[in-house]
Amino acid sequence: MSLRYIFEKRLELHVIAAGSLIDFELESISFPVGRVDFYYLYPLPFTEFITAMGKEGLVKYCNEQIQYPQAIHNQLLSLLRDYTL
C-alpha cells in the first residue's frame, strides 16, 4: 500500500512518514505537488524534557554547579534514564 493510496482513499488515517534527504542529493526524483508538508524536528533539551514531565522545580539544579540533596540527585537520574531511552 503506497502513501498516495492512504492519502487519497483512507482520509481517516493520519500518517507520519520520515526518511533521509540523501535521495535528493543523489538523483532527481519526482515530487508530488501539493501533497507534501515539511515539519522540522529538533532535539529536545533535557531541561525542556524535565518541564514536560511536570518537574519544573528540578530545572534550576541542572544549571547549578553545587551539591544538592541526594533525593534531588535521584530524581534527576531517574529523569535522565527516561530521557535517554
Chain segment 51-84, per-residue pLDDT in tens? 999 999 999 998 888 888 999 999 999 999 999 9
Q: How many domains does one find in the chain?
A: 1
Tell me which residue has cell 554547579: 65
| SS3 call for 51 | helix
pLDDT of residue 38: 75
Residue 13 lies in a domain: no
Q: Which structural domain range is residue 58 located in?
A: 46-84
pLDDT of residue 54: 96
| Residues 6+ away with beta carbon under 8 Å from 17 | 3
Residue 37 lies in a domain: no
